[in-house]
């Protein structure tokens, strides 16, 4: 039975059924009778999947869940088939085929809208390191991560992934932990600092003491959160099925009552009246109200570079009242650029300071150094020859230029070498930090000569987008792993009032759950691997499509393919309009159904005209959806 269900389901079988239904209609209109009506083929192809679902629900479901809309439709089809055996009643066979065909079309539309993407877990799992370098009695040996236990000492070389959560016991470095926190910059680490599984050691060699291994590591917890959020998010049940528990018994009672009352009054067509009630009671338009509207909205969004993975996501977006943003790569471009060149020495020009720093940083592999070099090249700043280049992981770089030692790094490191910033310089550094900027101090010998600040840049459309969202009565929130000063600065620039900073993935999830517990419907927008659990936990997850990680895109319900966050207000308006249209179409379909029931009881409709009337309701629903596709919401 299941194989037959698979064989008869889908677009191609439905097209075949439609061809035979058209043949039945033509034969009926020109008055030619065949030994077997072609509509039998339509009923077999398009009706079998409905009847299969109805039977399976009766067998496997409990309570009122046994009663579904396919059950009501199957009863109506069988009643029409029964009437078709009466003399001069061949049109009833066409009515049976017509009802089955319309419902098959509805099923195809719905299947296309709820085919949800559930990929990405395998990609996330692939980020878990397979081996680690354990140090035993001074000897290195490679072990699988399953063999690593808390308390083991491991060495992590530059370019390697940290195999487990741990604490640095020897060495200085910079760690790219964007996979966990989403921070755009590598974080300088030294003895006593924590490191997370799956993060990348960018520079110096470090020894760590394993603290959390195996399933307890940060990355494994990240994976489990994505899996749990996926399992806990139940799909939206079809409205027709929700109401079927009432529609089916009501339809049967009305049909039986119609038959008994008209029979007792001596009407010879009492059976036809009862069957006509069943036909017009079929919730075809009701079943089409949601999928057709959603298909139109998904097509409308695709034209504007917004990919909506499921109709359920669009429905949920219409109910969203709180929109949470990640910072790096979402509100900002995610690329560091030089924002300030500030000389401290009156005799030092901006170009001169930039030339000193870029010359030393020209051999650096650190992202900050590369950004300074790129900026100098872009502005055609001449570089000077350097000698004796040195790099101290997590602190800075130095080189000799014309007999002087030029150092570029953080304040503490320069202070260790006698170049201590004075009060005025410290105030400048504090101001830069408040603005969310990274600072590279430059010293010539034991004198600080200036500072170069670098910053991520806010997207040009960010502030306008937030202001537009406020017009839709949606609150905006910033959830980021960045430091508080950086988060506050960019939130102020984007006009976001509610800010939560220094959040790990689990804390982002907790924050979203707390908002949901307060009765809010939350939409999360992010781009990194670290955002995947939050994207899954939120009522709706939106990923930055072109620059976002594959895992974030797979975890999200919606993707912005052009990374244009100005599309968020458009998406909100479109989803709101879709919800309104669905409600209108449901009301319209119910009105048509009840009006047709009255006409059927009064014998103003027969099974075939009744089928055509309820088909007209389906056409109106589809036309309304087509209008949604053509409207402008940008």
- What is the secondary structure of 457-488 as a DSSP string? -B-TTHHHHHHHHHHTT-EEEEE-SS-HHHHH
- What is the secondary structure of 59-112 as a DSSP string? HH--GGGG--HHHHHHHHHHHHHHHHTSTT-THHHHHHHHHHHHHHHHHHHHHH
DSSP 602: T
Position 325 scores a pLDDT of 93
Q: What is the 3-state secondary structure (H, E, C) of 359-415?
A: HHHCCCCCHHHHHHHHHHHHCCCCCCCCEEEEEECCCEEEEEECCEEEEEECHHHHH
Range in 118-132, 235-249, 439-453, 575-589 the model is least confident about: 235-249
Position 386 scores a pLDDT of 92
- Mean pLDDT for 61-73 is 70
Position 590 scores a pLDDT of 82
What are the angstrom distances between the C-alpha of 126 and each of 90, 121, 534, 536? 62, 9, 20, 19
Residue 239 has pLDDT above 60, yes or no: no
- What is the secondary structure of 488-502 as a DSSP string? HHHHHHHT--EEE-S
User: How far is residue 10's CA from residue 110's CA, in Å, rounded to a whole number?
Assistant: 11
Position 113 scores a pLDDT of 46
**Strand stretches in 278-354, DSSP E:** 306-308, 322-325, 337-343
User: How far is residue 436's CA from residue 497's CA, in Å, rounded to a whole number?
Assistant: 16
Position 306 scores a pLDDT of 80
**pLDDT tens digits along 507-522:** 999 999 999 999 999 9
Range in 81-95, 112-126, 430-444, 473-487 the model is least confident about: 112-126
Length of the chain: 634
Which has more confidence, 371 or 311? 371
Q: Is the dihedral of CA 100, 260, 594, 276 positive or negative?
A: positive
**pLDDT tens digits along 281-301:** 766 677 677 777 877 787 778
Confidence of residue 379 (pLDDT cuts 50, 70, 90): very high
Domains along the chain? 129-216 (2.70.150.10), 337-455 (3.40.1110.10)
Confidence of residue 240 (pLDDT cuts 50, 70, 90): low
Position 357 scores a pLDDT of 94
User: How far is residue 201's CA from residue 176's CA, in Å, rounded to a whole number?
Assistant: 6
User: How far is residue 436's CA from residue 487's CA, in Å, rounded to a whole number?
Assistant: 7
Range in 231-235, 241-245, 279-283, 630-634 the model is least confident about: 231-235
DSSP 418: T
Position 245 scores a pLDDT of 61
CB atoms within 10 A of CB 257: 13
Q: What is the 3-state secondary structure (H, E, C) of 219-273?
A: HHHHHHHHHHHHHHCCCCCCHHHHHHHHHHHHHHHHHHHHHHHHHHCCCCCHHHH
Position 87 scores a pLDDT of 66
Cβ neighbours for 536, distance < 8 A, ≥ 6 positions apart: 225, 226, 229, 230, 233, 555
Contact call for residues 460 and 474 (beta carbons, < 8 A): no
Confidence of residue 63 (pLDDT cuts 50, 70, 90): low
What are the angstrom distances between the C-alpha of 453 and each of 245, 338, 372? 66, 6, 9
Best mean pLDDT range from 218-227, 234-243, 622-631 = 622-631
SS3 content of the chain, % helix, strand, coil (to 5): 55, 20, 30
* Residues assigned a catalytic role: 326
- Tokens describing residue 525: 């927008």
Contact call for residues 546 and 561 (beta carbons, < 8 A): yes
* CA angle at 388 for the pair 419 and 412, rounded to the nearest 5°: 25
Percent of the chain having pLDDT more than 70?
85
Position 550 scores a pLDDT of 62
Region of 484 on the Ramachandran plot (φ > 0 left; ψ -120 to 50 alpha; else beta): alpha
Contact call for residues 462 and 491 (beta carbons, < 8 A): no
From the list 533, 634, 614, 630, the residue with the least C-alpha distance to 289 is: 614
CA 564 to chain centroid, in Å, comes to 15
Region of 559 on the Ramachandran plot (φ > 0 left; ψ -120 to 50 alpha; else beta): beta
Name the residue with tokens 């009923």.
43
Residue 116 has pLDDT above 60, yes or no: no
Residue 184 has pLDDT above 70, yes or no: no
pTM, two decimals, is: 0.62
């Amino acid at each position: 039975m299941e194989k037959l269900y698979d064989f008869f389901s889908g677009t191609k079988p439905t097209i075949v059924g439609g061809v035979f239904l058209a043949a039945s209609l033509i034969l009926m209109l020109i008055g030619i009778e065949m030994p077997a009506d072609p509509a039998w083929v339509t009923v077999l192809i398009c009706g079998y999947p409905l009847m299969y679902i109805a039977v399976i629900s009766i067998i496997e479901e409990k309570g009122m869940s046994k009663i579904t809309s396919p059950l009501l439709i199957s009863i109506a089809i069988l009643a029409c088939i029964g009437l078709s055996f009466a003399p001069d009643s061949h049109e009833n066979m066409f009515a049976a085929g017509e009802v089955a065909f319309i419902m098959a079309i509805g099923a195809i539309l719905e299947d296309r809208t709820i085919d949800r993407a559930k990929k990405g877990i395998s990609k996330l799992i692939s980020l878990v390191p397979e081996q680690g370098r354990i140090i035993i009695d001074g000897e290195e040996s490679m072990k699988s991560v399953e063999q690593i236990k808390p308390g083991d000492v491991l060495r992590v070389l530059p370019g390697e992934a940290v195999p487990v959560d741990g604490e640095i016991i020897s060495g200085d470095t910079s760690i790219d932990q964007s996979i966990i926190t989403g921070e755009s910059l590598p974080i300088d680490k030294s003895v006593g600092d924590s490191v997370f599984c799956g993060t990348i050691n960018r520079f110096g060699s470090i020894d760590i003491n394993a603290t959390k291994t195996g399933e307890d590591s940060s990355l494994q917890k990240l994976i489990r959160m994505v899996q749990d959020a996926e399992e806990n998010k139940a799909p939206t049940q079809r409205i027709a099925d929700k109401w079927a528990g009432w529609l089916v018994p009501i339809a049967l009672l009305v049909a039986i009552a119609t038959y008994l009352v008209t029979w007792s009054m001596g009407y010879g067509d009492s059976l036809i009246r009862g069957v006509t009630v069943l036909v017009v009671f079929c919730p075809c338009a009701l079943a089409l109200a949601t999928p057709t509207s959603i298909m139109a909205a998904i097509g409308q969004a695709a034209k504007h570079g917004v990919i909506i993975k499921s109709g359920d996501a669009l429905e949920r977006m219409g109910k969203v009242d709180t929109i949470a943003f990640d910072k790096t790569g979402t509100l900002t471009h995610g690329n560091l650029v030089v924002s300030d060149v500030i000389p401290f020495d009156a005799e030092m020009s901006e170009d001169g300071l930039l030339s000193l720093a870029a010359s030393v940083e020209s051999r650096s592999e650190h992202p900050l150094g590369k950004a300074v070099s790129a900026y100098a090249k872009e502005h055609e700043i001449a570089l000077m020859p350097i000698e004796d280049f040195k790099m101290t992981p997590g602190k800075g770089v130095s080189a000799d230029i014309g007999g002087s030692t030029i150092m570029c790094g953080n304040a503490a490191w320069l202070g260790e070498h006698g170049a201590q910033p004075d009060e005025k310089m410290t105030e400048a550094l504090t101001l830069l930090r408040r603005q969310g900027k990274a600072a590279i101090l430059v010293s010539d010998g034991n004198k600080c000569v200036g500072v170069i600040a670098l910053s991520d840049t806010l997207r040009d459309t960010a502030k306008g987008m937030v202001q537009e969202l406020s017009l839709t009565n949606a609150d905006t929130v910033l959830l980021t792993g960045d430091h508080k000063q950086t988060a506050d600065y960019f939130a102020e620039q984007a006009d976001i009032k509610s800010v939560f900073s220094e959040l790990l993935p689990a804390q982002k999830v907790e924050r979203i759950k707390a908002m949901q517990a307060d009765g809010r419907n939350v939409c999360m927008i992010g781009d990194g691997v670290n955002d995947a659990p939050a994207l899954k936990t939120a009522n709706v997850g939106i990923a930055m499509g072109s620059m976002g990680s594959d895992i974030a895109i797979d975890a999200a319900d919606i993707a912005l393919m052009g990374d244009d966050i100005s599309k968020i207000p458009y998406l909100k308006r479109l989803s709101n309009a879709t919800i309104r249209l669905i409600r209108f179409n449901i009301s319209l379909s119910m009105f048509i159904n009840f009006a047709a029931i009255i006409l059927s009881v009064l014998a103003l409709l027969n099974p075939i005209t009744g089928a055509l009337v309820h088909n007209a309701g389906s056409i109106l629903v589809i036309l309304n959806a087509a209008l949604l596709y053509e409207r402008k919401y940008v």
